[in-house]
Every structure is written in structure tokens, then in C-alpha cells.
Amino acid sequence: MLLNTTLFQTSTLSLTSRTKISFNNEIEFSVFVRDYDELNYSLHIEDVKGCYKTLEVAYSGQREAIPYNQGKDCYLTPKKNFEETAFTFYIMLDIEYTIVKYSEVPREVVKCQIKIPSRHLKFLKVGEYYLHFVTIKGFENVKLKCFIKKPKVNFIDLTIEKSAEIKINGTDEDYTVLEYDSRDIDNTITLEFDPNALKELNEKIGESKDENDNGCITHIAYPTSQDDSFSSKNNENKKEENSITLSNKEKSSFTIKFINCFKCLSKRNNDKEEVYQRQFSDVSDKNDDSRFAYVKYFANNQN
């Protein structure tokens, strides 16, 4: 539908040459400044390209139009401070518009932490790469490919391929960063998506797996409302939390292995609750090559 529309463009004007004013690829004209009298200049519109209905000229920041001399077909402006003055040109014309109806698309944003230790990066030779995946909790069938490449000595190129369904850090482009292989990679990205569309795609893919899936690490993004929103889980580190119960005969100081988070330890004995506060410090075991961290707990009985 053709609708009456006002377009505008702002510019300073040259006293020695024509100034071109362009509104789009179809409409433009030149402004030539001449002496009108001792106090005023006249602005003349020339070299008009395209069609428009009306034209008004105003000082920048003001909507009131400057005087127009219909007999001489020019606009008048004082000479004082002319070179420091910007002018806004308003044209009115018919533009073709397409009618649409507003439909709000639900959007969700989650965060994912990409964590890769430097020892894995050092293992790569130039020209080699790892294939990881980035997915969203609840939509695990939809995967973004994450390439950890070594293009040159000492450098790692981490690239997550874009997806039509998921925006990475608010853009529709690939996510790419260049890192040193001597440093751990610990980058947080945001994933934005339409949950309804992603659910449909996730169900469509079903349980089918890419032939390259086997053995590949998957980084999972969690909703920001969850406590572990910044956590990155992968298929080589999926362990259950240790469940720890204290008996009456347990010693007050002991050392345990741990993998995930710690919860407050408590027990009930003869209808009386005993709470054990924990203090911990890192303990190294030179004979253990499992790379698990060790923590020393001190359980203190409090009334």
C-alpha cells in the first residue's frame, strides 16, 4: 500500500560548491548557495533525481521551516554564522508499505561455559582439531558443532558454528576466539532461542546421532535462573554427587575424594540433631594420578 511519508536528511552546506543531499538510492538533489542580498544567502535546489511531493528546509534541531521565495524558487537564510549552521531537508512522498500483524515470539537466553584444560590443547599438533558439541539442557538432540583447531604453533582457534535456530551472543554469526594453547580455555557464551521452535526441532531429530558423535565432549547450557547456570557438563565428567553419612564411630578428622559440590553434613542420633561444620584445605597425593582433588574435612560436634 502507498502511504504518505516524510523523509529527512541533515547536512551543512558549502559556499563554494554544490552539496549533494541523498535520501536513498532513488531520491537525491544538490543545493547551491548564492548571494541574495547583503544579509542573506539563497539556497537553490538543483539536479533533482527521483520524485517527491513537497520540500521544506529548517535549521537542524528546529521544525519551523526557513522562508521560501516562490517567485525565485529558493530558500533564504542569514549569512551570519552560516558555515557553522546545519540544515535539515524534509521531503514528503508516497512509499510502498507491506502490512504485517504483530506476533510475539518467545525467547529464552541461557549461558554455557566452555572449559578446556591447557593439557588438552597442548596435545594437538598443527593441522589437528577436536570436535566438541554445545547443546541446551532439555534440547540435547540439537547440537552446535564446536571446533578446537590448531592453525599454528602455540595458538588455538575455537569456533562454534552458527545455527538458524540459536543465536550465539546475540548474533547470527559463528563464535570464534583465538587462544594460547598454554592457557586453559574458560569462556562463557549466551545462547538465545525460541523454545517452541527448538522443542519441535529437538523432537524431529529424535535419538538419531551424528556419526562423529561418539567420544565427543558436549558442553551443556543451563537456564540462567538455575544455580548451576554457569556450569559446563561434559560426557567424560558426568559423575554423581557423593553421599556422605557420619556414624558414631567415625573419627572427627578424615580425608575423602570429591568430584562435585558439597552439602552440609548432619545426622540425627537419639532425636538430637548434630551439625558438623566443615573446614577444608587442599591436600596433594603424589602417588595418585587420577587428577581428582582432595579435601580434608574436620567435623566438629556442636550443641
What is the predicted pLDDT for the residue at 217?
Answer: 74
In a domain, 240, yes or no: no
Residue 217 to residue 212: CA distance in whole angstroms: 11
Q: What three-state secondary structure class fits 184?
A: coil
Mean pLDDT of the chain: 76
Q: Determine the Cα angle at 222 with ends 219 and 228, to 5°.
A: 100
What's the grid cell of residue 131?
570436535
141 lies in the same domain as 185: yes
The mean per-residue pLDDT over the stretch 284-294 comes to 36
- For cell 524534509, name the residue: 90
79 lies in the same domain as 178: no
Residue 165 to residue 32: CA distance in whole angstroms: 52
In a domain, 73, yes or no: yes
Q: CB under 8 Å to 26, separation ≥6 — which residues? A: 49, 50
- Distance from CA of residue 49 to its chain's centroid? 41
259 lies in the same domain as 178: no
In a domain, 54, yes or no: yes
In a domain, 247, yes or no: no
DSSP labels, 48-97: EES--SEEEEEETT--SBPPEETTTTEEEEESTTGGG-EEEEEEEEEEE-
27 lies in the same domain as 84: yes
The residue among 185 and 251 whose pLDDT is bigger is 185
In a domain, 228, yes or no: no
**What are the pLDDT digits (tens) for 146-169?**
999 999 999 999 999 998 899 999
In a domain, 237, yes or no: no
Residue 61 scores a pLDDT above 50 = yes
122 lies in the same domain as 157: yes
270 lies in the same domain as 195: no
135 lies in the same domain as 215: yes
Residue ending a domain, choose from 75, 96, 117: 96
120 lies in the same domain as 197: yes
In a domain, 187, yes or no: yes
Residue ending a domain, choose from 96, 119, 136: 96
52 lies in the same domain as 158: no
204 lies in the same domain as 115: yes
199 lies in the same domain as 262: no
The residue among 239 and 113 whose pLDDT is bigger is 113
Residue 266 to residue 130: CA distance in whole angstroms: 44
Structure confidence at residue 213 as a pLDDT band (50, 70, 90): low
219 lies in the same domain as 112: yes
134 neighbors 114 (Cβ within 8 angstroms): yes
Residue ending a domain, choose from 202, 223, 244: 223
46 neighbors 18 (Cβ within 8 angstroms): yes
Domain count for the chain, please give it.
Answer: 3
What is the predicted pLDDT for the residue at 257?
Answer: 35
Domain that holds residue 165: 108-223
**What are the pLDDT digits (tens) for 234-272?**
444 443 333 334 444 443 333 333 333 333 333 343 443
- For cell 588455538, name the residue: 156
In a domain, 236, yes or no: no
